[in-house]
Amino acid sequence: MLRTLTLLAAGVSSATLFAQQITEANMPVVGDVVDIGIMDSMLDPGASGMGQTWDFSAATATNTGNFSFVEVAGSLFEDRFPDADLCGISWEGSHAYYDLDSDVLSQVGFGTLVAQAPPNDTALVLYSDPETVVDLPFEFGATFTDAIAGNDVAFNIPFAFTGQVMAEADGTGTLITPAGTFTNVVRYHLTGTKVGATTTTRDQYVWMSPAHRFWLMLTETVSTAGFPSGLTWWATDPISASVGVDEPNRTDLRLMNTLVDRGTLTLVTNQAMRADLRIHDLTGKLVRGTRSEVLSGYTTIDVSDLSKGVYLIQVHSEQGTYAERFVVQ
């Protein structure tokens, strides 16, 4: 189980208040951008049960980033997951693909670029048995168990895996993060094992509110081949569940030319934005970086000093993260 954009979940603040359920309305939608504070360690999740207060106000972010949710069409791995409903892009540029119905949110795949020459520059998770992220509607005390299966693809070689995830909404109460205090929150505890080329285990806690879309906070430890890695993050400006997305005003960004033969790249956006641009070579080395550049309409980027080869451009803005490969001839 790779660290992906999975595991949105939770329930209600009281087992008797059935109206306060997590439903499809609490799932992310195209156009959502969730800014987060990040720590490279798992925090003590605190006690389970009803009426808890989880105080993480002293948590200090060592990094910041965001998750952005976009249409599958036009995303980096659209050809691999044409039947998905939603694509979520992490601050690291990884892409998770989801199916969302009124009764379940499932992850159907995952993709990210790695520092290798094509076609080995793509790492994928291809589910034959998708992973249930959360059954909907969901409330305190609810549980589910789900079998998963598929292939991890690395260096263009598939490695079969099987596994299982188990989840329980094990607590309700008040969550305090550096972003503020949130009441009527439900905590969701998920454990999972994935066995393939290596064995990966996960111990994860997520906090979510019926008043917001996406999660408020997550803390976890993922162990791969016996090596643990901790992670914590929280939404710094959570999105209200009542807020819609104005489709005509949603920002679209794309690279006009992925094959460079005249020394320039052209980015096009339908709205002006301020963004950081980064270009990496196949080794992962940062070969170009700019901060707070204004992109508007057509933006030309001089890459005439780059040697022939394959590169990755990343655009980080308040609207989300965009990543694309290009080739210098």
On whether both 65 and 178 belong to a single domain, the answer is: yes
* Residues 214 and 33 sit within 8 Å (Cβ to Cβ): no
The whole-number pLDDT of residue 293 equals: 78
For the chain, which ranges sit under pLDDT 70? 1-20, 244-252, 256-258, 262, 282-284, 291-292, 319-320
On whether both 229 and 163 belong to a single domain, the answer is: yes
- Indicate which CATH number applies to the domain containing 304: 2.60.40.1930
In a domain, 169, yes or no: yes
Please, which residues bridge with residue 201 across strands?
193, 223
The whole-number pLDDT of residue 7 equals: 34
The whole-number pLDDT of residue 19 equals: 34
In a domain, 19, yes or no: no
Which tokens is 205 given? Answer: 């806690």
On whether both 37 and 116 belong to a single domain, the answer is: yes
Taking only the tens place, the pLDDT of each residue in 100-126 is 988 889 999 999 988 777 777 889 999
Taking only the tens place, the pLDDT of each residue in 50-96 is 999 999 999 999 998 889 898 898 888 999 998 899 999 998 889 99
In a domain, 245, yes or no: no
Q: How many domains does the chain have?
A: 2
What is the pTM assigned to this prediction? 0.76
On whether both 81 and 213 belong to a single domain, the answer is: yes
Q: How many CB atoms lie within 10 A of CB 41?
A: 12
Domain containing residue 272: 251-328
> Considering only CA atoms, which of 201, 205, 203 is closest in space to residue 217?
205
On whether both 169 and 91 belong to a single domain, the answer is: yes
On whether both 225 and 262 belong to a single domain, the answer is: no
Give the separation between CA 134 and CA 8, rounded to whole angstroms. Answer: 7
> Considering only CA atoms, which of 253, 180, 5 is closest in space to residue 106?
5
Q: What is the DSSP string of 223-265?
A: EETTEEEEEEEEESSPEETT----GGG---EEES-SEESSSEE
The whole-number pLDDT of residue 212 equals: 93
